[in-house]
Each structure stands twice: as C-alpha cells, then as structure tokens.
C-alpha cells in the first residue's frame, strides 16, 4: 500500500483553500444566481478574520431598573365595602431615560386619559387594554405594568380574561370542559360572525351554530392564583360577557362546589353581561351552562369595586392586522361597557424578520396605521400608546446580530405615531439599541430564541415602560398645576 505523506495532505488542503478563495474574491457578498441556485461565499476579509459576536454592556440598564417590593402594600381583609381596589399611592418618576415620544396631538390625547386616570384614583372605574403579540403572551409585561398602575391609581384583579385561555399564565387559574371550542380573530378556527368582542377571542360549547335536540352542559372554572402579583389575586366582582344567545341557556354558579347562583342568560341575541359581586375574593368558581345552542362567550372580568383594570390580549403570531377582525359593533360595545380609556399596542416583532427592503417596512407601518385609525374611530375617547418592537437577533455568519431593518421599522413607527396622535415608546432603545439582545440573553433576561423576554427581563422592560408612563403623568400634573 502506498504511503501518503503528511506534506501531500497539507498541499491538497492549501490548494482547496486557494481555489475557494477565488469565488470569495470575485463573487459579491450577496451572492449570485446560477443554474437556479443562489451561490454565496464568504468575502475575503471573512476568510482570514472570523466575525466576532458583539455584546453590549447593559449593566447600567439592568441595575437602574427598580423592580423590588412590587407586591408590597395591599392587604385584603376579606370584606367588601364597595371600595376594594383603592390606590396605595407612592412616588412617580419625574423623568425617564426613555420617555414617551409625543406630538402635540398625542400629548393632548394622553392628557385626556390622565384626567380619567386621576378620577380613577378617586374611586371611578376604567380600563386599559394591552394588545400585543407573543411578547406579552401569558400576561408577560402586562402583569407587571398592571401591578404598578393599580398600586398607584387603584384597581384589583387581572381584569378581562379569555373565555377559553390556552396560554400558561400565573395571573389566574382557568379550566374548561372538553366540549368547549376556542375561536380567535387572529388564528384558526374563526367564527364567520366575528362576534369576538374586545378580547378578540371567544368560545362556544356546541358544534357550530346548529341546534341540538336536547340541552348540552358545559362548564368553565375560574380561580385566583397564589402566584399572581398581589393586586391581581384580589377581586370582588366577576362578570361574564356573552352574545349570540338565541335559545334558552341556563347557568348555575358554584363556589367550591356549593351552588351560589342560578339564572338564565338573556336570549335576544344581543351582547350582555352576567355580573356577580362577592364580599371577598371568591375561591374556585364553576359556571355550568346548559342549552341546545351555545351562546358566544367573550370573556370573564375579575376586578375590584373601583380603580383601573389592565387587560392582557395576547395574539400569538399577529402583527396587529387582526385588531380590526372583530365585529365592529360588538368590539365597540364591549369597550364602552368596561369604559376603555387607553390602548397599549405592542406589535412589529412578527414582521421584522420578513422585511426584505424599506418599502416592505413602510407597507407594514401603513397597515398598522389603518388599524390604529380603526380603533380611534370605534373608541374615540381613548388614547393610544404604541410600544415598538424589542431588539431581536438573527444568526449571521455565526454571530447574532440585530435584524437589518429593525431600526428603520422603529423610526417609521415613531413618525406614523406623531402624525396620528399616538404616543410612542421605544423599547428597542430602552434595551440598549443595536445588538443589545445577545447581552440580554447572556444575563438570562431573554430566551435562547433571541426574541422573547424571560420573566425577569420582562419585569425590567416593563419597569422602564412604567417609568416613562409615570414621567408623562407627572409632566401633565405640572402643566395643569395639579398635585399628586
């Protein structure tokens, strides 16, 4: 057998590397298409020097976020005097390193909201809706923001929850019978009637809209969660929102297996609320429904007697286009029922990875604008805050880098908001800007997908949002000459 000398192996390797250098030198970095295949080679500078992972120093960002003692203060005594949810007060931020970006119109709209918020702290009730993609799924971010706002301005309970929840959440406990089916405006299956309401999701317990010969029973269980923030695990009012009830539907409500309420839903097909009041936070509640044809259940509200409800509406995979996918009348009526005064919208993350050029960014932002205008038309007395996408990374030549068109997306969102009376909060900048995400992942503040926050990371991001919120409120107070 002929012996292969090491120097010959080395010569072959060198020759192969030299041959590979030819296309690296001649073919542009973006590649060329040949024989129907896109060919790409490392550019020459990459052949000799490996690309290094950029990791920003975010120590000051992390250290400056005060997320301590968020559960301190509220002590529920087990009795309702009609004022469960009064505020604890506290000190609001006087300034923010990442403030809301406001045009004159946006500032005026926010001032109108702050007036309502001031009244809420005195005992009135109002709602804030946080609509977003999977970045807020399972009450991520919203739970923290809710706790801070309710401590300062009043309110208890997680607010509106889906009739059929499918996301893991620590803010409440829910179970449904196997014959319930979930429908959403943003993911199949969908309802042709689009009677989703403000939660953009609903549930029914019979197949389609067909009427059965005999009544069918179905149940939904709801309970407070010991893992929730202190304000969220306390509530004295439970409301069931429903519509499209055309056949008699009985309902029995049990608390810890003891019957406490028996009733019939209104069967005129309209949108209605079945409201129950409790002297203390109820334990496990089971709603048992019986009908030959199921109504559409749009959600349950778990709330206090007074204050602010901060409602989480997570839409996995959505870019915000689905905000206009509910029946307009039912959507507006439900927001009117809960007295919605502010929309917090958090979208863009599901589109950034697919942008090919600047025109695709502009098209997306234009589409988001039309949805915002839709909300402003249906709920004209509510302000809107848009939270831009977080920093997100893609793997490029072995290192994680910010998606190329993400900064441009944030810039276009900001301009669109300024033109439409919408407040804008730059989450991307608050995180540290370009290529900040790898540092968040390294410190356990974001997941290995380089997109979503961990619970601790969500708390930090949410605290910065709340600081911007508090600074804007403090500024409004100073301009009107009021006192906290």
Within 10 A of 64 (CB to CB), how many other CB atoms are there?
A: 12
CA distances from residue 91 to 393, 462, 484 in whole angstroms, order as listed: 36, 17, 9
Q: What is the mean predicted confidence (pLDDT) over 288-296?
A: 96
The sign of the torsion formed by the CA atoms of 469, 475, 480, 483 equals positive
Nearest by Cα to 235 from 278, 199, 275: 278
3-state secondary structure 303-356: ECCCEEEEEEEECCCCCCHHHHCCCHHHHHHHHHHCCEEEEEEECCHHHHCCCC
Token pair for 441? 């992942």
d(CA 263, CA 253): 9
* Cβ-proximal residues to 7 (8 Å cutoff; 6+ apart), any chain: none
Residue 78's pLDDT is what?
A: 45
Under the banding of pLDDT at 50, 70 and 90, the label for residue 327 is very high
What are φ and ψ of residue 215, in 5° steps?
A: -60, 145
Under the banding of pLDDT at 50, 70 and 90, the label for residue 206 is confident
Question: 3-state DSSP call for residue 348?
Answer: coil
List pLDDT tens digits, range 118-142.
888 788 899 999 999 999 999 999 9
Token pair for 24? 């690296």
d(CA 91, CA 181): 45
pLDDT at 158 over 90: yes
Which of 76-90, 160-174, 185-199, 201-215 has the weakest average pLDDT? Answer: 76-90
Residue 75's pLDDT is what?
A: 45
pLDDT at 246 over 90: yes
d(CA 111, CA 126): 15
d(CA 354, CA 105): 32
Residue 483's pLDDT is what?
A: 47
Which run of H or of E encompasses 38?
Answer: strand 37-39
3-state secondary structure 403-435: CCCHHHHHHHHHHHHHHCCCEEECHHHHHCCCC
Peptide linkage before 189 cis (omega within 30 of 0): yes
State the maximum Cα–Cα separation within the chain, in Å, rounded to a whole number. Answer: 97
List pLDDT tens digits, range 394-407.
998 789 999 999 99
What are φ and ψ of residue 218, in 5° steps?
A: -150, 155
pLDDT at 72 over 70: no
Which of 48-57, 129-138, 384-393 has the weakest average pLDDT? Answer: 48-57
How far is C-alpha 265 from the chain's CA centre? 31
Return the percent helix, strand and coil in the chain, to nearest 5. Answer: 35, 25, 45
Q: Are 299 and 241 in contact (CB under 8 A)?
A: yes
Under the banding of pLDDT at 50, 70 and 90, the label for residue 199 is very high
Token pair for 378? 């249906």
């Amino acid at each position: 057998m002929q012996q292969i000398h090491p120097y010959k192996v080395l010569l072959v390797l060198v020759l192969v590397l030299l041959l590979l250098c030819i296309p690296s030198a001649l073919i542009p970095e973006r590649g060329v298409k040949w024989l129907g295949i896109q060919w790409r080679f490392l550019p020459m500078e990459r052949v000799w020097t490996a690309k290094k992972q950029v990791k920003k120093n975010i120590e000051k960002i992390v250290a400056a976020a005060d997320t301590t003692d968020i559960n301190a203060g509220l002590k529920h005594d087990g009795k309702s005097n009609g004022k469960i949810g009064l505020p604890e007060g506290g000190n609001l931020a006087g300034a923010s390193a990442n403030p809301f970006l406001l045009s004159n119109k946006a500032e005026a709209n926010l001032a109108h909201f702050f007036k309502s918020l001031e009244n809420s702290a005195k005992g009135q009730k109002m709602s804030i809706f946080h609509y977003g993609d999977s970045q807020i799924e399972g009450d991520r971010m919203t739970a923290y923001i809710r706790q801070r706002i309710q401590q300062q301005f009043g309110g208890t309970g997680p607010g509106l929850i889906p009739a059929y929840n499918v996301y893991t959440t620590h803010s409440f406990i829910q179970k449904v019978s196997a014959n319930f089916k979930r429908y959403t405006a943003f993911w199949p299956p969908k309802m042709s009637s689009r009677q989703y309401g403000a939660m953009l999701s609903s549930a029914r317990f019979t197949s389609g809209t067909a009427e059965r010969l005999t009544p069918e029973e179905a149940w939904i269980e709801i309970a407070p969660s010991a893992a929730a923030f202190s304000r969220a695990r306390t509530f004295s009012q439970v409301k069931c929102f429903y519509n499209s009830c055309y056949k008699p539907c009985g309902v029995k409500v049990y608390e810890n297996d003891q019957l406490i309420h028996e009733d019939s839903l209104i069967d005129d097909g309209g949108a209605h609320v079945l409201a129950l009041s409790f002297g203390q936070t109820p334990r496990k509640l089971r709603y048992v429904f019986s009908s030959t044809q199921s109504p559409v259940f749009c959600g349950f509200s778990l709330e206090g007697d007074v204050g602010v409800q901060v409602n989480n509406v997570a839409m996995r995979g959505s870019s915000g286009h689905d905000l206009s996918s509910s029946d307009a009348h039912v959507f507006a009526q439900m927001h009117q029922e809960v007295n919605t005064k502010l929309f917090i919208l958090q979208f863009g993350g599901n589109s950034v990875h697919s942008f090919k050029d600047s025109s695709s960014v502009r098209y997306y932002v234009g589409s988001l604008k039309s949805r915002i205008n839709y909300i402003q038309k249906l709920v004209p007395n509510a302000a809107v805050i848009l939270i831009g996408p977080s920093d997100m990374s893609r793997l490029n030549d072995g290192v994680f880098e910010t998606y190329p068109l993400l900064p441009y997306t944030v810039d276009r969102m900001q301009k669109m908001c300024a033109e439409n009376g919408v407040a804008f909060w730059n989450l991307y900048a608050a995180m540290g800007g370009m290529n900040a995400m790898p540092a968040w992942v390294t410190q356990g503040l974001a997941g290995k997908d380089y997109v979503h926050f961990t619970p601790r990371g969500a708390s930090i991001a949410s605290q910065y949002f709340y600081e911007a919120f508090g600074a804007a409120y403090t500024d409004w107070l100073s301009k009107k000459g009021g006192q906290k």
